[in-house]
């Protein structure tokens, strides 16, 4: 089962990311009511969100301060997300790389943790905020697209949505063809071939189309 984690931040972006993560969890399990009732939202507390040691005193020990702070954070998360408190897990353990089943929803970590699968919510409150359309997965000539593709395919299967793999290439003047895929560099072709195999393995078909009528190649 996928693990969706959001970084707790008392900022506008943090609030939007929390809403996005909560909604994503509901969408992911929406087709299976039993799973939805058991799904858990994980919230990572940054050191500043729950660090009580520096302000502790004999009259107010750090463990009590920490517990009070966690309760306040939990109340905020419940209020913002609408997710039941019993299905929210607050954690201050360092986020680890290599967990293929964990998705981190956050604006800042997307630029700081290349070792994690970070979903950048782009200040949206929901994956489907602009309508129920296909999940777009841009790809270039790097292997990172393969990880994103697998997540997108899993997500699409759960939400019953199509997936579009998107690549833009420059016209190669040495290639006399009007087929966009023949103008791609070799590395991008290899990525596209792997994406095709990945899609076919789960029963999807990969269709290559020009980006638009306004460009010769897309």
Taking the C-alpha atoms of residue 158 and residue 27, their distance in angstroms, rounded to an integer, is 8
Please report, for the chain, the start and end positions of each structural domain, with discontinuous segments joined by +: 1-128, 132-218
Provide the b/e sequence for 175-200 (b: ≥16 CB within 10 Å).
eeeeebeebbeeebbebbeebeebbe
| pLDDT over threshold 50, residue 15 | yes
Query: What is the arithmetic mean of pLDDT over 167-174?
Result: 84
3-class secondary-structure state, position 48: helix
The CATH number fitting domain 1-128, selected from 3.40.1350, 3.40.50, 2.60.40, 3.30.70: 3.40.50
Query: What is the arithmetic mean of pLDDT over 186-195?
Result: 90
| Residue 18, CA distances (Å) to 3, 12, 81, 82, 138 in order | 14, 10, 7, 10, 24
pLDDT on residue 204: 66
Q: Which range (40-54, 89-103, 129-143, 152-166) has the least confidence?
A: 40-54
| pLDDT over threshold 70, residue 100 | no
DSSP assignment, residue 57?
A: B
pLDDT on residue 214: 40
| pLDDT over threshold 90, residue 206 | no
Taking the C-alpha atoms of residue 118 and residue 141, their distance in angstroms, rounded to an integer, is 19
How high is the mean pLDDT of the chain?
81
Provide the b/e sequence for 85-97 (b: ≥16 CB within 10 Å).
eeebebeeeebee
Give 202's pLDDT tier (boundaries 50, 70, 90).
confident
Share of the chain above pLDDT 90, in %: 28
Residues in the chain: 218
| Residue 155, CA distances (Å) to 4, 29, 158 in order | 12, 10, 5
| pLDDT over threshold 70, residue 213 | no
Residue (of 18, 124, 5, 13) closest to 76 by Cα position:
18
Has this prediction a pTM greater than 0.75?
Answer: yes
Give 21's pLDDT tier (boundaries 50, 70, 90).
very high
Query: What is the arithmetic mean of pLDDT over 52-75?
Result: 69
| pLDDT over threshold 60, residue 217 | no
């Amino acid at each position: 089962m996928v693990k969706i984690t959001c970084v707790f931040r008392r900022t506008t972006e943090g609030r939007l990311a929390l809403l996005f993560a909560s909604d994503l969890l509901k969408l992911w399990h929406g087709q299976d009511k039993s799973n939805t009732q058991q799904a858990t939202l994980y919230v990572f507390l940054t050191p500043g969100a729950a660090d009580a040691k520096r302000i502790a005193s004999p009259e107010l020990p750090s463990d009590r301060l920490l517990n009070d702070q966690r309760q306040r954070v939990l109340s905020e998360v419940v209020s913002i997300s609408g997710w039941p408190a019993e299905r929210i897990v607050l954690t201050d353990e360092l986020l680890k790389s290599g967990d293929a089943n964990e998705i981190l929803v956050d604006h800042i970590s997307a630029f700081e943790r290349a070792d994690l699968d970070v979903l950048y919510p782009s200040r949206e409150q929901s994956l489907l905020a602009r309508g129920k359309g296909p999940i777009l997965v841009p790809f270039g000539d790097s292997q990172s697209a393969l990880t994103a593709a697998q997540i997108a395919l899993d997500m699409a299967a759960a939400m019953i949505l199509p997936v579009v793999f998107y690549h833009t290439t420059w016209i190669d003047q040495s290639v006399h063809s009007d087929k966009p895929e023949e103008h791609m560099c070799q590395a991008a072709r290899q990525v596209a071939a792997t994406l095709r195999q990945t899609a076919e393995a789960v029963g999807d078909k990969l269709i290559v189309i020009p980006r638009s009528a306004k460009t010769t190649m897309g």
